[in-house]
């Protein structure tokens, strides 16, 4: 009897937590895509909540301060960490991505203050939606500049 009481209470809480997790996951899941994958999906991806990452191309960055509208293009970067490692690390992969004109690219629009870390060869990780215009409308923009954090070999090396 006593055990039942506690057991019921516990089961109720468990069910509630499972429901919370399941429903919240469903409501808020974002598909993590690379530029290639997004372009492959094309129109079927329009309107879905997505998480997109790619390498920022320096000379496409435009900022209209009056409307706080930031636009830039990103180039495809693999989403697989092992692959990135195999190709010499994130910094190297980003460098190659922006300097390879054959890579797929996509245009991004973001409204808000220009992030401090935004620059060429940064990795942009964004959440947002693909518009019907084929432009990715980012709601959230994270940037990672791997070279700023760790780099094993100094640049002077190439001069020697």
Partner 1 sequence: MFAEFGYGVLLVSFIVAIYSGVAAVYGAVNKSAPLVESARRAMLLTFPLISIAAAALIYLLVTNRYEVAFVYEVTSRSMPTYLKITAWWGGQAGSLVFWSWLLAVFTSAVTLRKWDRDIEFLPWVIMVSAITLTFFLGMSIFFENPFARFWLVDGNVLPSMFAPANATVFTPQDGQGLNPLLRHPGMVIHPPMLYLGFVSFVIPYAFAMAALITGRTDDRWIRITRRWSLWAWLFLSFGLVLGGRWAYDVLGWGGYWGWDPVEIAAFMPWLTGTAFLHSVMIQEKRGLLKHWNMILVILTYALVIFGTFLTRSGVLSSVHAFANSPIGPFFMGFVTLTLVASVALVIWRWPILRSETEMKSMLSREALFLLNNLLFMSILVVCFWGVIFPLISELFTGAKVTVGPPFYERATAPLFSSLLFLMAVAPLSAWGHSTLQTLGKAIWKSTVAALVVTVAFYFTYTQNIGALVGFFLIALVLFATVHEFWRGTRARQKAQGENFLTALSRLMERNRRRYGGYIIHISMALMAIGILGIEIFQKETQGTLAAGEQLNIAGYTVEYRELASWDNQGEGVNYTRAVVDVYENGIYLGQLNPRIDYYFDSQQNMTIPGQRSTLRDDLYILLVDWQPVSTIGATFKIYVNPLVNWLWIGSLLFLAGVIFAAWPDRDPSEEPARRSVARDSRQPSAAD
Residues 6+ apart with CB under 8 A from 30: 49, 50, 51, 127
Residues 6+ apart with CB under 8 A from 145: 117, 119, 121, 122, 123
**Per-residue contact track with partner 1, 20 to 39, x per CB under 8 A?**
xx-xxx-xxxxxxx------
Residue pointed to by tokens 């084929």: 134
- Nearest partner of 39 among 85, 80, 74, judged by Cα: 74
The residue within the footprint of partner 1, chosen from 11, 15, 40, 68 (CB under 8 A), is 68
Cα–Cα distance for residue pair 121/118, rounded to 1 Å? 9
Q: Is 137 in the site for partner 1 (CB under 8 A)?
A: no
Least CB distance to partner 1 at residue 107 (A): 21
DSSP string, 46-70: BTS-EEEEEEEPGGG-EEETTTTEE
State which residue, 17 or 133, has the beta carbon closest to partner 1: 17
State which residue, 22 or 133, has the beta carbon closest to partner 1: 22
State which residue, 16 or 100, has the beta carbon closest to partner 1: 16
The residue within the footprint of partner 1, chosen from 96, 127, 135, 137 (CB under 8 A), is 127
The residue within the footprint of partner 1, chosen from 7, 10, 47, 87 (CB under 8 A), is 10
Q: Point out which span in 54-62, 92-100, 101-109, 135-143 binds partner 1 (CB under 8 A).
A: 135-143
Residue pointed to by tokens 């693909």: 130
The backbone torsions φ and ψ at residue 142, rounded to the nearest 5 degrees and listed phi first, read: -110, 145
State which residue, 3 or 43, has the beta carbon closest to partner 1: 3
Q: Is 90 in the site for partner 1 (CB under 8 A)?
A: yes
Q: Is 1 in the site for partner 1 (CB under 8 A)?
A: no
Q: Is 92 in the site for partner 1 (CB under 8 A)?
A: no
């Amino acid at each position: 009897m006593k055990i039942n009481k506690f057991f019921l209470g516990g089961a109720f809480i468990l069910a509630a937590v499972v429901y919370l997790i399941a429903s919240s996951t469903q409501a808020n899941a974002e598909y993590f895509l690379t530029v290639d994958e997004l372009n492959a999906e094309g129109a079927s991806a329009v309107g879905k909540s997505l998480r997109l990452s790619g390498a920022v191309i320096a000379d496409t960055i435009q900022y209209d301060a009056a409307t706080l509208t930031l636009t830039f293009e990103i180039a495809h970067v693999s989403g697989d960490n092992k692959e990135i490692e195999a190709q010499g690390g994130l910094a190297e992969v980003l460098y190659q991505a922006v300097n390879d004109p054959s890579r797929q690219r996509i245009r991004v629009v973001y409204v808000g203050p220009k992030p401090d870390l935004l620059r060429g060869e940064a990795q942009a990780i964004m959440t947002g939606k693909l518009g019907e215009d084929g432009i990715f409308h980012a709601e959230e923009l994270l940037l990672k500049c791997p070279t700023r954090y760790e780099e094993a070999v100094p640049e002077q090396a190439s001069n020697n």
